[in-house]
Amino acid sequence: MPRMFIVLEGLDRAGKFTQLRLLFKKLVKDKVNGRPLSKRGFQPVLGGDRVLTTADNLAGENVINTLVSQFKDSGLDVVTFSFPQYHDTFWGRFIGKALRGEFGAWDKENPYLASIPYALDRFAVSRRIKRALNEGKIVIADRYTTSNYLYQASKIDSELEQARFIDWLEDLEYRVLKIPRPDIVFFLDVMPEITMERDIYDDAKKRYLKNAKDVNEENIDLQMRAYKMALKLSEKWPNYFVRVRCVDAEGEVLKPEIISEQIYNFLKPILEE
The predicted-structure confidence for 66-113, as pLDDT tens digits, reads as follows 433 444 344 557 788 889 988 889 999 999 999 988 988 888 899 999
> Phi and psi at residue 266, in whole multiples of 5°?
-70, -40
**pLDDT tens digit sequence for 220-261:** 899 999 999 999 999 999 999 999 999 998 889 999 999 999
Q: Picking from 40-44, 45-49, 243-247, 260-264, which range would have the lowest pLDDT averaged per residue?
A: 40-44
Is residue 41 over pLDDT 80? no
| Structural domain of 128 | 4-271
Comparing 36-50, 105-119, 132-146, which segment has the lowest mean pLDDT? 36-50
State the total domains in the chain. Answer: 1
Q: Are 110 and 98 in contact (CB under 8 A)?
A: no
| Report field, pTM of the whole predicted structure over 0.85 | no
What span, in angstroms and rounded, lies between the C-alpha atoms of 4 and 41?
A: 24
Position 267 pLDDT exceeds 70 = yes
Say which CATH number the domain at 58 has: 3.40.50.300
The HSE-up count of residue 239 (CA atoms within 13 Å, CB side) is 1
| Secondary structure element (H or E) that encloses residue 24, with its range | helix 16-34
- CA 111, 115, 119 angle in degrees (round to 5)? 165
Report the chain's mean pLDDT, rounded to a whole number. 80
**Single-letter code of the amino acid located at 192:** P
pLDDT at 31: 56
Cβ atoms of 96 and 213 within 8 Å: the answer is no
Can you state the angle between helices 48-58 and 16-34, rounded to 10 degrees? 160
Residue 58 in this model has a pLDDT that exceeds 50? no
CB-based burial, 216-236: b 16+ in 10 Å, e otherwise: bbebeebbbbbbebbebbbee
